[in-house]
Amino acid sequence: MMSSYEIVQPTGTDRSLNISQYDRIGNASASCDGIHCYSGVIFEVATIMTIVLAVFGAFGNVLTILAIVTSRLKMNVNSILICNLSVADVVYCSFILPLQAMTFYHKGWTLSDLLCQLHASLRIWLIGVNMMLLSTIAFYRFLHVVHPQSHTRYTQRPWFIAACVLCWALPFFFCITPLIGIWGSFDFQERILQCTFSTNSSKSHKITTITAGYVVPCLFICVCYARLGCVVCTSRQRASRGSQYRRQRARRESFRLTGMMLLIFLGFLIGTTPFFIINTVDNRLKYPMPHIWSPFLAWIMYSMNPVIYTVMDVNFQRAYHRLLLCMIFKPDNVAETSVADRQSSLIKGKHDQPPQ
C-alpha cells in the first residue's frame, strides 16, 4: 500500500502531454507576429474612431458643398476649389473610411481581391486630388497677392476649368496603371490592415507616386506660402507709413491672412507627413502600429477642412447661415465683404473685367 508521503511520479504519457503543451505555448509565443499580438481593444477603438470621422467628415463636407452651390460663392475661384476639395473628402469619408472600419473590426479584408484593389486605387487617387487642390489653392492665392495681373488672366473660365480638370486627372494616372497591370500593383497587407501598395511589385511605382503626390506638392506649397508671407510683411510695413485707417486695415488683413496660411500649412504637414514618412522608411512593414494610426491624422484633416477653409471666412459664415435657416431660395443680394473677394470672382467675359 502506497504511503501518504510518497510522491506519485508522472507516467510517460503524462510527461509527454505536458511537454507537448509547453511546446505549443512556446511556439505560439514565438510565432506571434503582426496584428494578432496586439489587444483587441486597440482595433475596437480604431473602428469607432474611423466611423466617427467618416460621419462627421461626410456631413461637414456635404454642408460645405451645399453652402457654396446655393450662394454667391459658387462664382468665386477659391470657393470653387474648396468645393472640389470637399467633393473629394465626401467620397473619401463615404467609401474609404467605412470599408477601413470594417477591416479594423474583422482584423482582415473579408471582401474580394478586386474590391481591395479598387479600394486602394480610389484611396490613392483621392489623396492625390487633395494634394493637387491644396497646391492649386496656394497657387491662386499666390497670384492674387503677388501677381494680380496674372491672377486676372488665369481666373478666366478656360484656364480655371483646365486647372480643376488637371487636379482630378493627373492623380488618376498613378491609380489606373496598377489596375490594368501596366505599372505597380495593389493588394491587402495583413500586417497593417490596409489595401495599399504591394510589397512584391516594383518599388518604382510607389516611389514615383509618393514623390509626385507628396514631395513635389509640399515643396510647391511651402514656396507659395513663404512668398505670400514675405509680401504680407512688406505690405504691412509700407502701410504703417500711411494713415491710421490704412494701418488698422493692413493689420487686420495681415493677421487674418497669416492665421489662415498657418492653419492651412500646419494642417497639411501634420495630416500627411507622418503617413508618407512611415511608408517610406518602414517599407517592409516591420512596425504595424505606426502604419495603422498615422492615417488618422490625415482623416482628421479631411474632416477639419470645412473648418479651416470656411469658418474663418465671413462669406462662408453667411452662406452657412442661409443654408441652415433654409433661406437658400431667397436671392442672395449681399455683395462680397472685401475687394479681394470681388477680385477673386470668375471673369465671365472680356467686358466683365475690372478696370486696370
| Among 89, 68, 94, CA closest to 133 | 89
Q: How many CA atoms lie within 13 A of 161 on its CB side?
A: 5
Most confident of 27-31, 181-185, 275-279, 343-347: 181-185
Among 313, 353, 356, 352, residue whose Cα is nearest residue 336: 313
**Domains of the chain with CATH codes:** 37-324 (1.20.1070.10)
pLDDT at 58: 93
pLDDT in tens, 284-295: 888 888 888 989
pLDDT at 106: 92
What single-letter DSSP state applies at residue 328? Answer: T
Q: Which of 65-69, 147-151, 249-253, 343-347 has the highest mean pLDDT?
A: 65-69
pLDDT at 316: 81
Decide if pLDDT at 47 tops 80: yes
Reply yes or no on whether the pLDDT at 353 is more than 70: no
Give the cell for residue 290.
505606426
Find the helix packing angle between 295-306 and 244-281, rounded to 10°. Answer: 150
DSSP assignment, residue 36? G
pLDDT at residue 169 is higher than 90:
yes
Mean pLDDT value of segment 159-168: 94
| pTM for the full predicted model | 0.80
> Of all residues in the chain, what percent carry a pLDDT higher than 70?
73
Question: So what's the pLDDT on residue 27?
Answer: 45
